[in-house]
Amino acid sequence: MAPLLLVLLLLLLLVHRTAADERQLLMQIKHTWGDPPVLAAWSNGSESGDHCSWPYVTCDAPSGRVTGLSLANTKVAGPFPAAIGGLSGLTSLNLFNNSLTGAFPTSVYRCASLRHLDLSYNYFHGELPASIGRALGQNLTSLMLNGDCFTGAIPTSLSQLRNLQTLELDNNYLAGTIPPELGDLTGLQTLTLGYNEFDVGELPASFRNLTKLKILRARSCNLTGDFPSYVTEMPELLVLDLSFNALTGSIPQGLWNLTRLRLLTIYENNLTGEVVIGDGAFGAVNLVTIDLSANHRLSGPIPEAFAHLPKLQTLNLFYNNFSGEIPEDLCENGKLEYLNVGQNVLSGSIPASLAGCATLKRLILRNNKLFWHGLLLDNY
C-alpha cells in the first residue's frame, strides 16, 4: 500500500507544480502586454482563484495545463509573448483583431499540440519563415494569418501541414507566385489568398486536388489565363470569389451544377461568351449571390434558370453585353433584394413582376433599351 500512496503523492505534487508553472506563464504573458485592464483578473493573489477559471483561458481539468487562449478583440497590444511557447499543452491560440507587432512568432513552434492558430488582423510583419510548415507540427488544422503585414513569398513548407483544413493568407503583402505545393493540402476546406501582391500568373493546376474545398477566395491576386475549370470538380464548394483579376475564357458550364454553392463572385475579369446552363436540372439551387458584373463581354440572354433559384437575393450582371429580354419571373422566389442589369444591350419591356416585387430593395436598369408602358427608360 505504501508504494501506491507514494505514487499518488508524487502525481499530486507533479500536478501542483504544473499548475503553478502554467499560472506563472500566464502572468508573464500579461506583463509582456503591460498589464492591460482586460486581464485584470489574471493575478497571483489568493483572491484570483484557480488560473483555469480566469477569463480567456481554457484548461485540461485534471492537470491544470492551459489548452486554450482565446483573446480575440481584447485590444491587447505589443510584442508576441515568448511565454506562450512555454504552454506545452496549448491546442488553440486565438489572437484575432488586436494590436500585436513583430515578426512571425517562432516561439509557437514549441506548442507541439497546437491545432488552431489565429494571428489575423494584427500588425505582424516581415517574411514568413521558410520552416513554418515543418515546425508547426502535424496537429495543426487551422492557420489564420490574414489581415497582417506579411511580405515575401508563401513558404512551400506549408504543404507539409497535411492535416490543415483552413489556411487564410488574404490581406497581406505576399508576393511571388502562388506555390503549386499548396495543392498537396488535400484536406483543405478553406483557402483565402485575396488582396496580396502576387506575380501575374494562373492559379496552380495542382489546386484541382483540393476537392474538399468549401471556401476559395482569390480576389485581386493578379490571376490570368482561362477560368480554372477544375473548380467544377469541387462538390463541397460554398463560396467562390475570383473577382478583380484578369481571367479569360468562358464560365464553365459545370459551375452551375455545384449543388452547395451559395456565393459566386467573379466580377471585374475578362470573361467572354454566353452563360450556358445546359440541359437538365439546374444544380446550383442554393445560390444566394451571383455577381458577374464588369466582365464587359459576357453575352447572350440572361439565363431563364436564374429566375427559378429559390434562395437568390443578389444578381449583378452590370456592364456586360447581355441581350434579349429580362426573364419574366426573376422575382418569383420572393427573396430577390438586389438586381443590377445596367450597361448591357437588353431590350423589350420591363417585366411587370419587377414593379410588384416586394422584396426588391435596389433595381438598376440604366443604359439598356428597355421600355415601361411604351416609354424608353435610360437612367433608372
| Angle in degrees, CA 58, 64, 65, rounded to 5 | 70
For residue 242, the SS3 value is coil
**Residue 34: left (phi > 0), alpha (psi -120 to 50), or beta?**
left
Please report which helix (H) or strand (E) contains residue 79, including its range.
strand 77-79
Distance CA 13, CA 161 (A): 37
User: Computed over its alpha carbons, how large is the radius of gyration of the chain?
Assistant: 27
Neighbouring CB atoms inside 10 A of 99's CB total: 12
Domain that holds residue 38: 15-119
User: Phi, psi (5° rounding) for residue 107?
Assistant: -65, -20
Give the pLDDT of residue 318. Answer: 99
Q: Is residue 350 a part of any domain in this protein?
A: no
State how beta strands 369-372 and 375-377 pair.
Answer: antiparallel
Helix and strand totals (H; E) in the chain: 3, 25
Give the pLDDT of residue 5. Answer: 46
Burial of 334 (C-beta count, 10 Å sphere; 0-12/13-18/19+): exposed
- Would you give per-residue pLDDT tens digits along the chain (380 residues)? 555 544 344 344 334 458 899 999 999 999 999 999 999 999 987 666 799 999 999 999 889 999 999 999 999 999 999 999 999 999 999 999 999 999 999 999 999 999 999 999 999 999 999 999 999 989 999 999 999 999 999 999 999 999 999 999 999 999 999 999 999 999 999 999 999 999 999 999 999 999 999 999 999 999 999 999 999 999 999 999 999 999 999 999 999 999 999 999 999 999 999 999 977 668 999 999 999 999 999 999 999 999 999 999 999 999 999 999 999 999 988 999 999 999 999 999 999 889 889 999 999 999 999 998 667 666 56
Which string of DSSP letters, residue by residue, matches 250-303? PPPGGGGG-TT--EEE--SS--EEE----SS----TT--EEE-TT-SEEEEEPP
DSSP 8-state symbol, 145: -
Report in angstroms the alpha-carbon separations of 86 from 26, 108, 109: 10, 9, 10
Distance of CA 342 to the CA centre of its chain: 30
Q: Is residue 342 a part of any domain in this protein?
A: no
- Cell reading at 341: 442589369
Give the pLDDT of residue 48. Answer: 64
For residue 378, give the nearest of 351, 338, 344 by alpha carbon.
344
Q: Is residue 1 a part of any domain in this protein?
A: no
State how beta strands 99-102 and 123-127 pair.
Answer: parallel
User: Phi, psi (5° rounding) for residue 92?
Assistant: -140, 125
Q: Is residue 111 a part of any domain in this protein?
A: yes
Give the pLDDT of residue 6. Answer: 42
Interacting residues of 226 by C-beta distance below 8 A, sequence separation 6+: 247, 248, 249
Number of domains in the chain: 1
Q: Is residue 296 a part of any domain in this protein?
A: no
Give the pLDDT of residue 351. Answer: 93
Q: In what side-by-side order are the strands of the sheet with 369-372? A: 272-274, 297-301, 321-324, 345-349, 369-372, 375-377
* Residue with cell string 511565454: 83
Whichever domain contains 84, its CATH number is 3.80.10.10
Distance CA 256, CA 232 (A): 8
| Angle in degrees, CA 350, 353, 359, rounded to 5 | 115
Q: Is residue 114 a part of any domain in this protein?
A: yes
H-helix segments, 33-124: none
Q: Is residue 30 a part of any domain in this protein?
A: yes
Q: Is residue 104 a part of any domain in this protein?
A: yes
Distance CA 348, CA 95 (A): 55
